[in-house]
Amino acid sequence: MIEDSNGKARPRRSSAATRALVIAAARGLFAERGYGGTTTREIAQRAGTSEMVLFRIFKTKAQLFEAAVFEPFDRFLQSFLEEYGLSDQPLATPEAASRRFVEGLYRIMSENRELILLLIATGMYEEKVTRGLKGMRSLNDYFDIAEAAVRSHTGDDEADLALGVRLSFGLVAAAVLFGDWLLPGGQARPTRARLIDQLSHFISSGVPSLAPPVRRNGGALRRRGAPSALQRAAAPAGRDRAFDDSADPV
């Protein structure tokens, strides 16, 4: 038995359990009071530990803030890449991979919306706090891994997959964080299910309605968009002609 910050006896916890409690307490207090209005002593008290133990785990308050904000994204992105990006098998369908990505990221972003907006505000007004954070760099690491994984599935060395991967993430982030600005209100506001449907379709298929019209068989006009990276990754071997404009009859 050991004593907590209030002098009460409690069973000894594992390091992992203590760390999880500290992060959970930090997430709650940062969301309630903001970065500047939260002290490490208050976090330790809520976690049922001491400030000394807290600083053994996190060297600074800024490092704890970073973990509170970014660790859910780390877990989701790692899980997604293990399931889809790092496998040698072709993606089942571009729609399945896209929906898995959008649903998971939308959920994580929604659950952490207040903390993400707090991070943005803190970066604007307390730059010295966020200057040393590694979270955005760790996201860039995952983006680089995702780009390499998609490229290995597609064999496409020319497409700007680096930008595509980041914009796919940005589309979902914008829908969650800035939905109040981007989306209509009241009864006209789209449901969560509809947003996920549209985001999934956009990422997996692009926007064919915006592609230039193409005349086929000398007759009707149709519109065709360039295939997405996920479409190419899902295509069986020998099916490249499905994405080749030259394969269409003139």
For the cut 60, the answer to whether the pLDDT of residue 229 exceeds it is: no
Confidence of residue 8 (pLDDT cuts 50, 70, 90): low
- For every residue of the chain, DSSP letters joined together read -EE-TTS-EEPPPPHHHHHHHHHHHHHHHHHHHTTTT--HHHHHHHHTS-HHHHHHH-SSHHHHHHHHHHHHHHHHHHHHIIIIIS-SSPPS-HHHHHHHHHHHHHHHHHHTHHHHHHHHHHHHH-HHHHTT--HHHHHHHHHHHHHHHHHHHH--SSS-HHHHHHHHHHHHHHHHHSHHHHS--GGGSPPHHHHHHHHHHHHHH--GGGSPEEE-TTS-EEE-PPPPHHHHHHSPTT-GGGG-GGGS--
Q: Quote the mean pLDDT of the chain.
A: 75
On whether residue 250 sits in a domain, the answer given is no
pLDDT for residue 132: 56
User: What is the count of structural domains for the chain?
Assistant: 2
> What percent of the chain has a predicted confidence (pLDDT) above 90?
30
Same domain, yes or no: 55 and 83: no
Comparing 93 with 174, the larger pLDDT belongs to 174
Let me know whether 107 and 190 are in one domain: yes
Q: Decide if 187 is inside a domain.
A: yes
* Mean pLDDT to the nearest integer, 128-132: 60
- Residue at 98 is within a domain: yes
Residue ending a domain, choose from 59, 77, 100: 59
- Residues of the chain with pLDDT > 70, as a percent, come to 63
Quick check: pTM over 0.75?
Answer: no
pLDDT band of residue 157 (cuts 50, 70, 90) is low
46 pLDDT band (50/70/90 cuts)? very high
- Confidence band, pLDDT 50/70/90 cuts, at residue 9: low
CATH classification of the domain holding 80: 1.10.357
Whether residue 237 has pLDDT greater than 70: no
Given 20, 39, 59, the domain boundary residue is 59
Question: Per-residue pLDDT averaged across 231-241, rounded?
Answer: 45
Mean pLDDT of 199-228: 55
Could you tell me if residue 158 is inside a domain?
yes
Q: Give me the domain span that covers residue 53.
A: 1-59
